[in-house]
Amino acid sequence: MDLPVNPPVQPMLAKAVTGVPDQPADGPVWSYEPKWDGFRALIFRDGDEVVMSSRGGKDLARYFPELVEAARASLPPRVVLDGEVAVARPIGSVNRLDWDALSQRIHPAASRVEKLAQETPAVFIGFDALATGSADLTGEAFDVRRAALLEAAADSGDDRIRVSRVTRDAGEALAWFTEFEGAGLDGVVGKRLDGGYVPGKREMIKVKHKRTADCVVMGYRVHKSGTGLGSMLLGLYDDGELRMVGGSSAFSDARRRELQDLFEPMRTDPDAVAQGEVSRWRTAGSAEWIPIRPELVAEFAYDQMENRRFRHTVKFLRWRPDREPGSCGYDQLEVPLTYDVFDVLEGGTP
């Protein structure tokens, strides 16, 4: 591979801010775009050779052969694009990003990879260009890179290669922050119009959803060291049934021991363990957890829900002795608007 920008390349990153920045009165500084919730990926094409690498430099091409095929068939012969790999599936009347389906695509068996490529095909959503032809675009302003992206991807005619929409209107970006969550997106990203592409540096900004929920502590896992709490398991009531919605695990060693001492006397059965979900990310042993009496309520910070569970790890904030466990239900959670993910892309529904 002999491109103006060759792998490995770390993608440009974003730093978290608390709100969508306004444009200054003397002219726009920011380009805003939706924050996609998938696998960050860089696609390098040099003729028939296609490399698709993750943020950490791992090979993604083997897991998404349909995207390699799409890149080889429809992208310019020499190009480097930055974007996100996602899976969109119908949920109700709209298409929505499906993280669980995307995660299942990372599988060691080639036969399984080929099967899933047919059953849950992925899409590459481009949002920047690093090179095209013989030109290195990393030192160019975003408008130049965006034009190259549109020429490379939006005109490809292949629905597997798409482009994220952008705006310079801060008000519109703020509306996206709320509306697009219904399609499975998790915030807004801002890029400086005059800024170049700086690999591995946090030159962009991101605004993500942050919320809190009061949850019942329904169990815990022992830390992998064998001492102290590894994570506390959280539940919410749904029609009288306590359903697990996620876990919280960011504690100091001293706090882990303290929490295990607190939970140990609350075990429903001294010898009982429950079996959680087993996946390639978690072995059967690590999926085991210890049920406790559902008597403690705490407040946790989270950003998203997906399939009635917390999408990411949640953060413990404080105990809530004033809340009855039975009052901790799904009704306290914000329900995002319904929005079709393809309406977030340039060109709309394929």
The structural domains of the chain, ordered by start, are 13-208 (3.30.470.30), 211-332 (2.40.50.140)
pTM: 0.74
Catalytic position from the list 15, 35, 191, 201: 35
pLDDT per residue as tens, the chain (350 positions): 899 999 999 999 999 888 999 999 999 999 999 999 889 999 999 999 999 999 888 899 999 999 999 999 999 999 999 999 999 988 778 888 888 889 889 999 999 999 999 999 999 999 999 999 999 999 999 999 999 999 998 666 788 999 999 999 999 999 998 888 778 788 899 999 999 999 999 999 999 877 788 999 999 999 988 889 999 999 999 999 999 999 999 899 999 999 999 999 999 887 767 755 433 334 444 468 999 999 999 999 888 777 788 877 789 988 988 788 998 988 877 666 567 888 888 765 55
3 HSE (CA, 13 A, CB side) = 29
Q: What is the CA radius of gyration of the chain?
A: 22
Q: Report the pLDDT value the prediction gives residue 201, as an integer from 0 to 100.
A: 92
Q: Report the pLDDT value the prediction gives residue 181, as an integer from 0 to 100.
A: 79
Q: Count CB neighbours of 270 within 10 A.
A: 8
Exposed/middle/buried for 285, CB within 10 Å: 0-12, 13-18, 19+?
Answer: exposed
Q: Count CB neighbours of 334 within 10 A.
A: 10
| Nearest residue to 275 (alpha-carbon basis) of 264, 266, 286 | 286
Q: Report the distance separating Cα 30 and Cα 28, nearest Å.
A: 6
Active site (annotated) includes residue 35: yes
| Alpha helical stretches, state H, 29-169 | 65-74, 99-104, 110-119, 142-149
Q: Report the distance separating Cα 198 and Cα 10, nearest Å.
A: 9
